[in-house]
């Protein structure tokens, strides 16, 4: 019994010494927390306890809110890799009108899911989910944190919540639908959709050719309405804990000023010539192609077709961008199921506030 008590005392003494050493080490560790090396070590302390995965940072906001610049600032302080969440920046050659980071920035801070397809190809939210999850896995294997940045809110939702099982695109069927639309018009095709799927038709404008085409395609392929398929339960496997950051303007009128200035800069920097070059390089492109329906490109196509003047291109481009920002803000405001940390994108120190939040979250959140 005496021997056992001595062993226990020795063990307790060693244990207390180890605790004291750990407390001292942690104190020294936190005092160095601003260094990049320690940030990488901090990463290991924030791995998900169950699946050994890091958190994922979602940096969201409307167009012209400064997401790209803040993402670059985050990349200088934390061990992150940037994944673009932008349905327009996936296209090659579409640089000016998408406000894509230039080659100097991309060479210094690589971005995933930028410049991955040509403008005559298509990309879906389902494909984004597959690609993003694969990239996030490789980022985690490199002991880094995925930083997802963009304004395509459907992609963020698809990534986390999954998507209903829908038929894949059928090129020949799409061509048939386009031929029928040319023989009549898209409002007529919309009326046909009303007969097949009244519920979906209510949500789609008679002039929205892209959505009408997809809804009809699904009806024909699945032999049932899209609205019924969307009611089926989604199967979503998203194993990451998220830190959600939204850049929201306190004064929307000031965001509108930014939007106007940015679109005017795009025109000055060669948006018209960019679209003209793309249409020459890819002659199969039409005004209804998804790439040419992006904000700014759609209006530029109308100008090149001679349907609007340069002054109308200016005004319509700004108006369409403002509408896009409104939809993005509406989506962010309607997201009630998650904690979203909001910061005023018009503030000069927005980046600093985001940095302090991440410093706190990545250090202590488990």
d(CA 64, CA 253): 12
Give me the torsion for CA of 214, 220, 221, 225, rounded to 10°.
80
| pLDDT at residue number 365 | 53
| pLDDT at residue number 337 | 66
d(CA 296, CA 313): 8
d(CA 131, CA 109): 19
User: What's the fold here for domain 171-230?
Assistant: Histone, subunit A (1.10.20)
42-161+240-364 CATH, one of 3.90.25.10, 3.40.50.300, 1.10.3720.10, 3.90.1560.10 = 3.40.50.300
Nearest to 209 by CA among 285, 275, 293: 293
How does the average pLDDT of the chain come out, rounded?
A: 87
| pLDDT at residue number 127 | 95
| pLDDT at residue number 44 | 47
CA angle (127 as vertex; 194, 291 as ends), nearest 5: 70
Does residue 43 register a pLDDT over 70? Answer: no
Does residue 17 register a pLDDT over 70? Answer: no
pLDDT band at 336 (very low <50, low <70, confident <90, very high): low
pLDDT band at 210 (very low <50, low <70, confident <90, very high): confident
Q: Where are the domains of the chain?
A: 2-31, 42-161+240-364, 171-230
pLDDT band at 51 (very low <50, low <70, confident <90, very high): low
pLDDT tens string 343-363: 999 999 999 999 999 999 998
pLDDT band at 217 (very low <50, low <70, confident <90, very high): very high
* Residue 79, φ and ψ in degrees, nearest 5: -80, 75
**254 or 4: whose pLDDT is higher?**
254
pTM summary value: 0.81
The token pair at 163 is: 């998507």
Q: Which residues contact 90 (CB under 8 A, 6 or more apart)?
A: 84, 113, 114, 115, 116, 117, 123
Give the per-residue SS3 of 146-170: EEEEECCHHHHHHHHHCCCCCCCCC
Q: In the predicted model, what is the mean pLDDT of residues 283-289?
A: 91
165: helix, coil or strand? coil
Lowest model confidence (mean pLDDT) among 57-61, 163-167, 348-352? 163-167
85: helix, coil or strand? strand
| pLDDT at residue number 237 | 86
Q: In the predicted model, what is the mean pLDDT of residues 153-169?
A: 90
Does residue 32 register a pLDDT over 60? Answer: no
| pLDDT at residue number 171 | 83
pLDDT tens string 231-277: 887 767 899 999 999 999 999 999 999 999 999 999 999 999 999 99
């Amino acid at each position: 019994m005496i021997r056992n008590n001595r062993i226990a005392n020795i063990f307790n003494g060693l244990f207390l010494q180890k605790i004291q050493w750990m407390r001292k080490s942690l104190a020294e560790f936190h005092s160095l927390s601003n260094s990049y090396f320690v940030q990488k070590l901090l990463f290991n302390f924030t791995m998900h306890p169950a699946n050994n995965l890091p958190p994922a940072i979602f940096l969201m906001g409307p167009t012209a809110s400064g997401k790209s610049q803040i993402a670059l600032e985050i990349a200088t302080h934390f061990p992150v890799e940037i994944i673009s969440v932008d349905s327009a920046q996936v296209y090659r050659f579409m640089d000016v009108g998408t406000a894509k980071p230039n080659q100097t920035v991309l060479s210094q801070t690589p971005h995933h899911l930028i410049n991955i397809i040509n403008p005559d190809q298509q990309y879906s939210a389902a494909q984004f989910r597959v690609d993003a999850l694969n990239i996030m896995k490789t980022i985690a294997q490199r002991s880094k944190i995925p930083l997802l940045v963009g304004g395509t809110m459907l992609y963020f939702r698809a990534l986390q919540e999954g998507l209903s099982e829908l038929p894949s695109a059928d090129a020949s069927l799409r061509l048939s639908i386009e031929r029928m639309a040319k023989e009549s018009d898209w409002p007529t095709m919309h009326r046909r959709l009303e007969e097949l799927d009244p519920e979906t038709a209510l949500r789609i404008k008679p002039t929205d050719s892209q959505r009408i085409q997809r809804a009809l395609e699904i009806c024909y392929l699945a032999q049932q309405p899209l609205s019924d398929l969307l009611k089926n339960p989604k199967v979503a496997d998203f194993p990451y804990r998220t830190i959600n950051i939204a850049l929201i303007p306190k004064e929307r009128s000031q965001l509108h000023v930014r939007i106007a200035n940015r679109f005017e800069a795009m025109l000055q920097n060669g948006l018209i010539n960019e679209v003209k070059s793309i249409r020459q390089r890819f002659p199969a492109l039409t005004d209804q192609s998804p790439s040419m329906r992006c904000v700014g490109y759609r209006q530029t196509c109308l100008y090149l077709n001679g349907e609007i003047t340069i002054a109308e291109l200016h005004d319509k481009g700004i108006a369409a961008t403002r509408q896009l920002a409104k939809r993005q803000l509406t989506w962010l405001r309607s997201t009630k199921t998650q904690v979203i940390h909001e910061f005023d994108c018009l503030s000069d120190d927005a980046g600093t506030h985001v940095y302090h939040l991440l410093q706190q979250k990545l250090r202590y959140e488990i």
